[in-house]
Amino acid sequence: MAHKIKILPENLCNKIAAGEVVERPASVVKELLENSLDAGATRILLDVEAGGRKLIRVVDDGLGMGRDDAFLCVERHATSKISSDEDLFNLNTLGFRGEALPSIASVSRVCLRTRSEEAEEGWEIHLEGGTVKRADAVGMPRGTTIEVRNLFFNTPARRKFLRRDETELGHVGDVFTRLALAHPQVHFRLTSNERVLTEVFRQNTLEERVASLLGRPLLREMQPLDCNAGEGLRLHGLLGRAEASRSTTGAIYTFINGRYIRDRVVQHGLLEGYRNLLMKGRYPVAVLFLEIDPLQVDVNVHPTKHEVRFREQSLVHDFIASAVREALRGAGESEPELQPQRLSVGMPQENIASDPFPRPSFSATESPSVSDRHRQSVQESLLSYGRTLDTARPDRSYQPAPGPFRVPEPVAAASAAEGFFSGLQLIGQYRQSYLLCQDGEDLLLIDQHAAHERIGFERLKAQAAKGRIEGQSLLFPLVLELDFREADLLQQHLGEMARLGFEIEPFGGRSFSVIAIPAVLAQADTARLVRDMVGEMVLVGKSALIEEALDEVLILMACHSVIRANQALTPAQIRALLRDLDGVDFNGHCPHGRPVFKRMSLGEIEKMFKRV
């Protein structure tokens, strides 16, 4: 049969475009909120039901539309925001493609109500699958209300990809938070199933907005940054101190010309600025706005404008890195948690030069599916786990011991009845990080930090296998304030957390009181531990997956075991550590493959010195 080329019907085009623009309820929310902001709204109310699959309603007090525009706006490529080629490269609105409304309308039931200042009455238009079903004049104040019901009612294949309501609501919350962060002067409210989740009133500064969206305690751990490089290049916002670091990139909010964008160049520049201040696998908290000449950046490379392309990406990268570095240094952050790489012995150097942006462990730019996110979170925690040692450089309190070895008091001689590790003959501790032991003729090097983590992991795992990890009450309960999404997730997972040894109670609003933590981790920094757990939940986003990802969650927890590298141990502590190591089944399944000890035979050592 010969080909017959046809121009596709309008409605099908819209559905195809919807495939790109409308992935899930959160994408609809993003487009609608952006339209309200572009219309100059000062108050935007967002209501969702069933995570947005049943209803998404956005009510704004913006410019509204007259009758003609109200009908036009749901047509493909209908936009009031650009009219010429030049406009495309000099954008000052969030939208410009004129695709969102027709795309959304093609896969849902839409009711649009709008009135402009001049119009005497407003218009209410009902659409189903993109076709106008009814239109009436209505009395209403200036502004626009858009209701999107039954998303994907006519595209079952898409509907199948939707996740649980809580997960979808989480994505909606993310979009909401990002846009609200970028527009402190606008009043935003989010309700879900008629319950107000968060409401932020008009505010004058970013600081106030951050305090009300992300929590005042977090704001106290942040410092302002404002760096102007001239020619329209400026970076400003708030940077978290190193101690406020997180185990995921979830608390990094970056905006380019007012648009939330998770860009690799920007994110890498930011991490570069924190270099040597954070352990690997730890990420800063940051709310940063990059202003750049619109001619220097192309935002039209992705239908949802999630990605951008910089003309001079290394210039932008280096500018961000140095602005962040300078700001942190100015604020006394020059006392690093860690020292530079060069102090490491025999560790591979990370080579930035060969690949400009080699750190690929960022969350993906587009919203990944839950399983992707889950896989990624596991990957990240594995990475961070695997790398803890690499980065655990001597801290500044490190005082070189008089000789290369610190010789502790002799440890009791091995007796045959002892286990393998406790039976080893201890030579000493090297760089307060490694235990040197002799086993017959062989030299054994034990990584004390890895050993401790491994012991913690095994204990947690053994307890978890029995159904519940033993908790230990804190002397003083700790009150933590979370952002609303974290708070929502934690609220849902309190039972899960209890089984993991965390006794946590709601403490009003977005605050929680931590009453007990796993006994194995009794010495850990509680706030950081709980925050990391919540960060992990935000990534996993589903209780079933916490079960599936139990090993990774336990690894994350074990990372909070307290014997670090660079810690002088007393002989008694060393003995206890070796004894505990005897309880670890090294033949068993090892979740991460990082070695705890290395053995060197006499032969190898003699060969090294060319004695044989």
63 binds, among Mg ion, ligand ADP, none (CB under 5 to 8 A by kind): ligand ADP
Cα–Cα distance measured from residue 135 to residue 58, given in angstroms and rounded to the nearest whole number:
19
Site residues for Mg ion, 543-582, by CB under 5 A, read none
Site residues for ligand ADP, 128-167, by CB under 6 A, read 144
Q: Which stretch binds ligand ADP (CB under 6 A): 61-69, 328-336, 359-367, 494-502?
A: 61-69
Cα–Cα distance measured from residue 455 to residue 453, given in angstroms and rounded to the nearest whole number:
5
Considering only residues 11, 42, 80, 492, which one is a binding residue for ligand ADP as defined by CB under 6 A? 80
36 binds, among ligand ADP, Mg ion, none (CB under 5 to 8 A by kind): ligand ADP
Q: Which stretch binds Mg ion (CB under 5 A): 93-101, 106-114, 438-446, 537-545?
A: 93-101
Q: Does residue number 119 form part of the binding site for ligand ADP (CB under 6 A)?
A: no
State phi, psi for 331 to the nearest 5 degrees: -95, 20
Q: Which is nearer to ligand ADP, 95 or 237 (CB)?
A: 95
Q: Which is nearer to ligand ADP, 60 or 380 (CB)?
A: 60
- Nearest by Cα to 22 from 118, 133, 122, 130: 130
Is residue 226 classed as helix, strand or coil in its secondary structure?
strand
Q: Which stretch binds ligand ADP (CB under 6 A): 30-38, 343-351, 404-412, 561-569?
A: 30-38
User: Least Å distance between CB 60 and ligand ADP?
Assistant: 5
Other beta carbons within 10 angstroms of residue 137's beta carbon come to 13
User: What is the edge-to-edge ordering of all strands in the sheet holding 511-518?
Assistant: 471-481, 511-518, 503-506
Q: Does residue number 78 form part of the binding site for ligand ADP (CB under 6 A)?
A: yes
User: Least Å distance between CB 87 and ligand ADP?
Assistant: 11
Q: Which residue is nearest to Mg ion (CB)?
A: 95
Cα–Cα distance measured from residue 611 to residue 604, given in angstroms and rounded to the nearest whole number:
10
Q: How many residues make contact with Mg ion (CB under 5 A)?
A: 3
Cα–Cα distance measured from residue 189 to residue 198, given in angstroms and rounded to the nearest whole number:
6
Contact mark string toward ligand ADP, 90..109, x via CB under 6 A: -----xxxxxxx--------
Considering only residues 14, 17, 22, 35, which one is a binding residue for Mg ion as defined by CB under 5 A? 35
How distant, in Å, are the alpha carbons of 68, 359, 399, 400, 564 from that of 405?
Answer: 83, 35, 13, 10, 18
Cα–Cα distance measured from residue 213 to residue 208, given in angstroms and rounded to the nearest whole number:
9
Is residue 137 classed as helix, strand or coil in its secondary structure?
strand
Q: Does residue number 95 form part of the binding site for Mg ion (CB under 5 A)?
A: yes
542: DSSP letter: -
User: Least Å distance between CB 541 and ligand ADP?
Assistant: 28
Q: Does residue number 35 form part of the binding site for ligand ADP (CB under 6 A)?
A: yes
Q: Which is nearer to ligand ADP, 60 or 272 (CB)?
A: 60
Q: Which is nearer to Mg ion, 51 or 95 (CB)?
A: 95
Residue 490, H or E segment: helix 484-492
Contacts of 560 (CB under 8 A, 6+ apart): 456, 521, 524, 525, 528, 529, 532
Q: Contact positions toward ligand ADP, by CB under 6 A?
A: 31, 35-36, 39, 60, 62-65, 73, 78-81, 95-101, 144
Q: Contact positions toward Mg ion, by CB under 5 A?
A: 35, 95, 100
